[in-house]
A and B are shown apart, each in its own frame.
Chain A
Amino acid sequence: MVSNPLALIAELTHRCPLHCVYCSNPMQMASAADELSTEQWAGVLQQAGELGMLHAHFTGGEPLARGDLTELIAAARTSGLYTNLITSGIGLNESRLQALADAGLDHIQVSFQDSREEAANWIAGAKSHAHKVELSRAIRQHRIAFTVNLVVHRQNLDHLEEMVAFIEQLNPDRVEIAHTQYYGWALANRAALLPTQAQLDKAVAIVADAERRLAGRMRIDFVVPDYYAKYPKACMGGWGRRLMLINPAGKALPCHAAEVLPGMAFENVREKSLAWIWQESASFQHFRGEAWMPEPCRSCERRGEDFGGCRCQAFLLTRDANATDPACSLAPDHSIVQAAVRDANRSSGVAQVQAASSFVQLQNVNEGLWRYRTNPE
């Protein structure tokens, strides 16, 4: 018997006012016309509660782009779920925040691209930084848990200390300092984002120091880039083991990037129940457990901890979804990751922050450095 999933990731829309160069959304996005309706989402949330899930994580794209977000938060609370909104904050003013709080929002995670306004807007491809700072003050007026998500990479790691000091002023309960993970747009832009070993070593020391200083006031979660780790990450806590993601069009996925995997068909919540998808569907069973594992995973003592790493990363880097995640130092294809790390360490150069008066101009001046995330058709 399969144990129940712990949390639902509700990817409400792929529409987003930001164009972050490290966005983990798929490059093939669901259009607004394909999105689930309010009633369909409410049905999904009710089933999630009945299945024994505890948390609902609302994400996107930008979930605030959905006009019915307040209703969906309320529907999740009615279904007994803890509600978490993962957002850029764009589209949120004080009155909408009040409405979300009244609907029972438990936790809000706001992403910050940098401490320096011009650099933050350069990464996001949008003028968004000043609004986020404003919004953080408004959030602290409510009894909602507040987390700041800071995405770090080659272009901003050199001033991590300054970024930590900036976040302290925002006064969140938690800060997640996460390195870019290389899927979707971030994989296309990897050369401009992958840090050097020296940057990483310095970051580890800065975070350790901040953790000591801020203990009891602010909790710090630091996600080390798996390209520099010895073992791969336990992606999603194991395939079909803890989490279920529903994408904007209603497809149920075991992982954000799973649609890149060839030859796999994913069920849609318009046709099947969450319980059936979790327990019976071929897609959720495909990499569940250990039967699919190749060596060295199959006999590895860590197979119950990291589950062979990420299937999507394995496919994106080796073209074989069954391969050991190349981020693992024991993987036969580890040389792929080593080569990327070697390239990243050939120089310590970073790019010049570019400002422009429009997104089209910004795309043009940064052509050759990276591609900005675009929106669904």
Chain B
Amino acid sequence: MAQPLDSSQPRLAAGCRWGGTEQDRMILFPEGAIKLQGPGRRILERCDGTRTFGEILAELHKEFVSTDPAKIRTDIATFLEQLQKKRIVDY
């Protein structure tokens, strides 16, 4: 498997869901939980199975205007690929 394409529609994998409180949001999955803050949370909240990877990138470019778009793309693609290997995200 590889990194997401612009047309990929990432979403949480079966049996993975949001939990915790509004201040302390986390993703619950079979082996444990990951607390998500800042960019990680903003990325995963957009992985709803509807938005494409390209759309998610465009939205995050607007939020992080001072960051190099190429770096945003690489970082997010790597982040999602890691979560896909753990079977937390599908695309």
Contact = CB atoms under 8 A, between A and B. Distances in A.
Given A54-B19, A106-B15, A107-B15, A145 B28 contact: no
Interface in A57-86: 80, 82, 84
Contacts of A84: 30
Interface string A174-213: 1000000000000000000000000000000000000000
Contact of A145 (B15, B32, B81): B15
Interface string A121-149: 00000000000000000000011111100
The winner among B14, B30, B87 for most chain A CB atoms within 10 A is: B30
B16 interface: yes
Given A80-B19, A219-B85, A173 B14 contact: yes
Interface string B14-35: 1111010000001011101100
B13 interface: yes
Given A107-B15, A143-B14, A145-B13, A219 B86 contact: yes
Contacts of B30: 84, 106-107, 145, 147, 173-174
Contacts of A144: 14-15
Interface string A1-12: 000001000000
Interface of A: 6, 54-55, 80, 82, 84, 106-107, 142-147, 173-174, 215-219
B80 to A, nearest CB: 11
Interface string B71-88: 000000000010011110
B33 A54 contact: yes
Interface in B20-64: 26, 28-30, 32-33
Contacts of B85: 215-216, 219
B23 to A, nearest CB: 14
Interface centre among B1, B15, B16, B32, by most chain A C-beta atoms within 10 angstroms, is B15
A24 to B, nearest CB: 19
A82 B20 CA distance: 11
A80 B16 CA distance: 14
A174 B19 contact: no
A contact patch SS: loop
Contacts of A215: 1, 85
Contacts, number: 56
Looking at A80, A106, A217, the one whose CB has the most chain B CB atoms below 10 A away is A106
Nearest to A109: B30
Interface residues of B, number: 19
Nearest to B33: A54
A217 B1 contact: yes
Given A54-B19, A106-B17, A173-B13, A145 B86 contact: no
B14 A216 contact: no
Nearest to A174: B87
Nearest to B17: A106
A80 B21 CA distance: 10
Given A173-B13, A173-B15, A215-B85, 13 more contacts: A54-B32, A80-B19, A84-B30, A143-B15, A144-B15, A145-B14, A145-B16, A145-B87, A146-B15, A147-B30, A173-B87, A174-B30, A216-B85
Contacts of B87: 145, 173-174, 218-219
A174 B29 CA distance: 12
A144 B2 CA distance: 24
B14 A82 contact: no
A58 B19 CA distance: 19
Contact of A55 (B1, B13, B28, B84): B28
Nearest to B86: A219
B1 A82 contact: no
Contacts of B86: 219
Nearest to B15: A145
Contacts of A82: 17, 19, 28-29, 33
20 contacts: A54-B26, A82-B19, A106-B15, A106-B17, A106-B28, A107-B15, A143-B14, A144-B15, A145-B14, A173-B13, A173-B15, A173-B30, A174-B30, A174-B87, A215-B85, A216-B1, A216-B2, A218-B87, A219-B85, A219-B86
A54 B28 contact: yes
Contacts of B84: 216
